[in-house]
Amino acid sequence: MRQLIAGNWKMNGTGASLAELDAIREAKPADADILICPPATLIARAAAKGAVPIGGQDCRAQVSGAFTGDVSAEMLKDAGAVAVIVGHSERRQHHGESDAVVAAKARAAWRAGLLAIICIGETEAERLGGHALDVVTRQIAGSVPDGASPENTTLAYEPVWAIGTGRTPTNAEIVEMHGHIRARLAARFADAAGMRILYGGSVKPANAREILALADVDGALVGGASLKARDFLAIAAASS
């Protein structure tokens, strides 16, 4: 399977940042898929450049309505997005999103014809308490709707304690968790073997090659290191 290297710009970037997309286009690898998820304000302009596939960072489950400040999956599609991240831990933490809400957002993504990148991952307390696998099992059960397939869904395992901290799980912990996620998906979906499982959390040029070579790691979701084309391209070049 081709690996996917997805960049999450979070709440960073203005029009000037779109030049990074030109730099990515110039040097993007031939043997990996890439995706950039800029803030909502840049999606239409980013997509119009045609430099790289563009995704959203979140969507609301409803098509339209009285939801001030929110964006629907249909709006992202209309703006030129091909994918949307749902259930990022920053949404779960700061916006109180439950697994049920995340599942509804994933279904909304499918309804609009977008790839849903569904994020899961344990907190540090949950890992230290020995509950990481159980937490992720519960998140998969609640956040990944029936009907998931390799075409409409990608999973992103992002341990909350590794996001933006410079810390990563050991290789053995990543392999154990990705194998566990694959097994949980296989218990529900016939084509789970073809479903991408990304690793996310402090992926950088210095550790990308090692992480991307691990079993059942089908790409990376990259936050901070996706803001500069040079770092993002170095990570993409390390894909196996």
| Closer by beta carbon to ligand PEP, 131 or else 204 | 204
| Closer by beta carbon to ligand PEP, 154 or else 202 | 202
3-state secondary structure of 115: strand
Q: Which residue is nearest to ligand PEP (CB)?
A: 223
| Closer by beta carbon to ligand PEP, 197 or else 222 | 222
| Closer by beta carbon to ligand PEP, 159 or else 189 | 159
CA gap 219, 237 in Å, rounded? 11
User: Of the residues 88, 126, 178, 180, which is catalytic?
Assistant: 88
CA gap 30, 236 in Å, rounded? 10
Helix axes 171-186, 205-212, angle to 10 degrees: 50
Measured in whole angstroms, how far is the alpha carbon of residue 109 from the centre of its chain? Answer: 13
Contact set with ligand PEP (CB under 6 A): 8, 158, 163-164, 200-203, 221-225
CA gap 100, 106 in Å, rounded? 10
Q: CB 183 → ligand PEP: shortest distance, Å?
A: 23
Q: CB 106 → ligand PEP: shortest distance, Å?
A: 16
Per the annotation, the verdict on 74 as an active-site residue is no
Helix axes 132-143, 99-112, angle to 10 degrees: 50
Name the nearest CA neighbour of 76 among 104, 28, 38: 38
User: Of the residues 90, 122, 158, 178, which is catalytic?
Assistant: 158
**64 exposed, middle or buried (CB, 10 Å; 0-12, 13-18, 19+)?**
exposed
| Closer by beta carbon to ligand PEP, 51 or else 208 | 208
Q: CB 219 → ligand PEP: shortest distance, Å?
A: 12
Name the nearest CA neighbour of 164 among 203, 205, 211: 203
Per the annotation, the verdict on 158 as an active-site residue is yes
Residues designated as active site: 88, 158
